[in-house]
Structure 1
Amino acid sequence: MKLLKQLLNFYLNSSIHVALSCYALVRITFHVFHIQYDNPMALFVFFGTIVGYNFVKYDALVRVKKKPIGNLLKIIALCSLISIVLVGYYFFQLKRITQIVSFGILAITALYTLPFFPNRSNARNWAGVKIYIVSLCWVGATLVLPLINAEIPFTSDFFIKCIQRFILVFVLILVFEIIDLANDDPHLKTVPQMIGVKKTKLLGFLLLIPFWFLEIFISTFNYHDALINLVMVVILMLFIAFANPNRSKYYTSFWVEAVPVFWWLMLAYN
């Protein structure tokens, strides 16, 4: 049992789980826009997420706080190094325009992590900004890049899906911010810190209404996908409703982050 818990913690701490969620959203993008499975694109996002998230999580720990590197962190570093190699491999299989746009997403990630401006912390610590930067990066990586690489024109469907994807990630982060409320620095000004837990939950519920109703306006609308999206809305509402600062870290780091995976599996196998 102890070994299983250690494996689970490694799976979560090495960002493999969140990378799987991003991969699932890429597959959902393929499904919605009828794009043939693009292995380099999907795996570029998967391994790129591992690299990006591990960089964000552990850069300050090692570079700034200069904490000793334990065995787990060494294994995670090795996992990240392998992922960097694979990111490079799949990067060169993407179209040129996709490569250029991916550098833009990389720049935002770097801004999020590194203090580029004098006497300023990184964007991760800018008051109230974190949730918007992360949501934009997820939209870019899981929706914009796949469409660009598939040379799909930016129609109204694209913009509707961008809004939906942004709302989805925004709501998922709201759950994280509720759980992390007791540990987050007050200067971060997260949504629960600014308006309280109850109003944050209400905001999450209200955002899920346009998330679902926007589905009606896409040209490829079908009742099967709309029903599955409704199921996902209900699941997200339950996660929001039962979220509180006393929940286990696995509530968000495993279950909430698995929502896109459940969504993809329902779309793929129904």
Structure 2
Amino acid sequence: MKVLKSILQFYINSSIHVGLSCFALVQITQLVFHISQQNEMGYFAFWGTVVGYNFVKYEELARAKKIKMRKQLRWITLFTFGAFIMVGYYFFKLERITQIVAVVFLGLTLLYTLPFFPNKKNARNWAGVKIYIVSFCWVGATVFLPLLNAAVAPTISIGILSIQRFILIFVLILIFEIIDLRHDNSNLRTVPQQIGVKNTKILGFVLLVVFCGLELFNINININFNTSIQSFSLPLIFAIAIALAFANEQRSKYYTSFWVESIPIVWWLLLLFIP
């Protein structure tokens, strides 16, 4: 049991799970627009998420020498280095325009993490900004880059999907912020810190209703829309609503870092294995 727990901790702490969530959303985007499976794009998103999240989680603490290199952290560092090599490998397999846009999103990640200006905090510490930067980066990685790499022409459906994806990630982050409310610095001004847990949940529910409305609108205007996407997306949005409803400060870290982040993976697997 101790070994299984260590494996699970490494799986979550090394950002493999969140990387799979990003990979799943890329695959869903390709299914929505009937794009033939582009494994290079999916793998780039997976490894890029692993590197990005590990860099964000551990870079500042390591730079400030606030953590000791425990055994698991050494393995995570080694794994992240390997993931960085894989990012480079798949980066050069992407189309040139996709590479350029990917570098832009890399710049946003660095802005989010590193203090570029003397005596200034990074974007992660800018009051109330974190949730928007992270949501936008996820839209870029899971919508813009896959469609750009497949040379899909801009359409209304792409705009709707982008808004939906932003809402999806935004609401998932709201759940994280509710769980982390006790530990977050008050200067971060997260949504629950600014409007309270109850109003944060109401905001999340309203956004999920907007998501569903956009889904139905997209189906009505797009005769080529993959109806199986809709048949599974609405129940899974309901699952997110349940997760939001039961979120509170006493929940364990696995509530969000495993169960909530599993929702996109479950969504993709249902689409993959159920006709």
Q: The TM-score by the shorter chain falls in which range?
A: over 0.9
Distance apart, 1:210 and its partner CA = 1.1
Taking the aligned partners of 1:140 and 1:55, their CA distance within structure 2 comes to: 18
The match for 2:61 is 61
In structure 2, do the counterparts of structure 1 residues 233 and 66 end up closer, same or farther at CA, with 3 Å as the change threshold? closer
Counterpart code for 2:111 = L
- Decide whether the 8 Å contact of 1:178 with 1:243 is kept in 2: yes
- Decide whether the 8 Å contact of 2:17 with 2:258 is kept in 1: yes
Taking the aligned partners of 2:113 and 2:66, their CA distance within structure 1 comes to: 16
Taking the aligned partners of 2:9 and 2:234, their CA distance within structure 1 comes to: 31
Taking the aligned partners of 2:29 and 2:227, their CA distance within structure 1 comes to: 17
Greater shift in the superposed pair: 65-74 or 47-56? 65-74
Counterpart code for 1:131 = I
> TM-score, with normalisation over the residues of structure 2?
0.96
Distance apart, 1:39 and its partner CA = 1.0
Q: Which runs of 5+ in 1 are unaligned?
A: none
> TM-score, with normalisation over the residues of structure 1?
0.98
Q: Which runs of 5+ in 2 are unaligned?
A: none
Distance apart, 1:68 and its partner CA = 2.3
- 1:231 counterpart SS class: helix
Taking the aligned partners of 2:24 and 2:194, their CA distance within structure 1 comes to: 32
The match for 2:233 is 229
State yes or no: 1:252 paired with 2:256.
yes
- Decide whether the 8 Å contact of 2:232 with 2:271 is kept in 1: yes
Show the 5 A alignment for 1:1-270.
Answer: 1-218=1-218, 219=222, 220-270=224-274
- Decide whether the 8 Å contact of 1:215 with 1:221 is kept in 2: no
- 1:196 counterpart SS class: helix
Taking the aligned partners of 2:88 and 2:200, their CA distance within structure 1 comes to: 39
Taking the aligned partners of 2:123 and 2:214, their CA distance within structure 1 comes to: 31
**Aligned Cα root-mean-square deviation (Å):** 1.0
- Decide whether the 8 Å contact of 1:180 with 1:245 is kept in 2: yes
Question: Aligned residue pairs: how many?
Answer: 270
Distance apart, 1:66 and its partner CA = 4.6
Taking the aligned partners of 2:129 and 2:117, their CA distance within structure 1 comes to: 16
